[in-house]
Structure 1
Amino acid sequence: MSPQITIDDLIRRIGELPPMPQVAQRALDLIRDPKSDMADVAKILAMDEAMTSLVLRWANSAYYGLKYPVSTVHQAVTYLGYRTLHSLILAASVASFLERPAPGYALERGELWRHSIAVAAGARLIAADFGQKVSEEAYHAGLLCDIGKLALEILLRNTNTEQPDWQGQPFNELEIAHFGIDHAALGAELGRRWRLPGPLVDAIANHHHPSQANEGAILAAAVHLADAVAMSLGIGLGKDGLQYTVDPVAVERMNWNDKKFNEISERILPFVEEADEFIRARRFKA
């Protein structure tokens, strides 16, 4: 651990990150509230016209495979359901948070966002056999699984990861060996501060080692495999993507095979493309 920066400093660094955007916090409140209705959704979307546009574009993407295009939020709810729509709103609302560059991980502006969207979309598909509630929770966990990188990357900026002692092991294990903590644990701490449900926090903390997860075991396995898919596609690869080991427990737990890998790889790409367009549109508007 660097003598200048301690683990406590990193925890404080998480606290210094901007709080979750107001619209995202409201989206989380919707997800927690089983009594939420269309009026609640409309209030959130009214806060950001670009978000509404992205939600509808995502709904019409090849990822969902709808037979007929949707042009209104009401139609999106009808075809996709509230849980899925809430997830899309949450993703769009944290875009400004996740699009930040993370130079310590060699991630340029927007790359962490692209990776997070790819993992979220993949995790949802992988967890589909466990029902919509679980698959949407997997989406949330995938979306936020690497949020801790925004804090830990400040240590990596001044670290030569080309040295031999940074080779030969999964990158998160090397983070622990050198700094005493990894980005997953930092992300879980941020999740607790955001009052995320326990299974989500557990999944974020253990998405590199799903065999160690408890209440979020299914979510962690889905995110872990989706993370591997995104890395294999070169989406948000960065430094750590070059040393990614797939946990056999996740493979067994989710009945993972080459056919599923190929299917997930193909289906998430349109989702990521729309996410790219959303960021470009926001920058142009700004």
Structure 2
Amino acid sequence: MTEEEKKLSRRFYKAEQEAGFVEKHTSHTAQTISPSYKLAFHDTEFLLREELRPVRFQLELLKTEMLMEEAGIGSMLVCYGSARIPAPEQVEAKLAAAQTPEEKAIAQRLAANAKYYDEARKLARIASQCAIVEKGMRQFVICSGGGPSIMEAANRGAAEVHAETIGLNIVLPHEQAPNPYVTPRLAFQFHYFALRKMHFLLRARAVAVFPGGFGTFDEFFELLTLIQTGKMKPIPILLFGKDFWNRVVNFEALVEEGVINRADLDLFTFVEHAEDAWKKITGFYGIDCPPLEG
């Protein structure tokens, strides 16, 4: 059926048309200005009621899913990582701002991990330059949490080669905004962490995990759990920074304590460089697209 035939066969007005009728023809009386008279989907106060939480869950799931589909996003290369690790050009300022011995020690650790900003940026650039399209849908589109630091690096790398890039931002009590490298039409904002994490993985074809804190741990371990328990098919999980991860998580101890199997350690692969990560991804899927120069 053509679009014209669909229009002719439609028996009822669309919601947006009905809303227009209300705006144009409703007179202001005691009845019409009452909150109860508002169309339910135009009534923000009603939508924000506690009882409407299931509806808001559905809206957060549907909005991002529909817009991703319309944008032709077939799959994503998701990048998790810290919001605190500085870009290499910010290292000197970070070190200079540290005052106490503890602050200086922390600043030095963050500075040492600044190299992963460059690796995230490079990985995004490599994947985006390949511009893989399957069945009319774009594959391995770079997606991050849309914030600063490692997230910014991933979006920045894609933007530098003129590729669209996704940011899944979250509303927080303190100021939070997407980094400037996220493609505007692919900048999404979430209220629920659960729905945000779901969207990270719905289209994830590979995940790169860089050094990070609680948020990164949460995302990384949920992904491991989903694959370990068979709720999700295996995908390449590239863990950047073997020294960092082995220092903050004793994976071997988990095996020794019997709470995971040794085979579970094969769910992820340690890497140090973007080129190695991309080779693991392309090898997993049998894709011929070597890293490009520049």
TM-score range, shorter chain: under 0.3
More strand by share: 2
Q: Could you tell me the TM-score, scaled by structure 2's length?
A: 0.25
Which fold has the larger relative contact order, with Cα–Cα distance below 8 Å and residues 6 or more apart in sequence?
Answer: 1
TM-score, normalised to structure 1, is: 0.25
Bigger radius of gyration among the two: 2
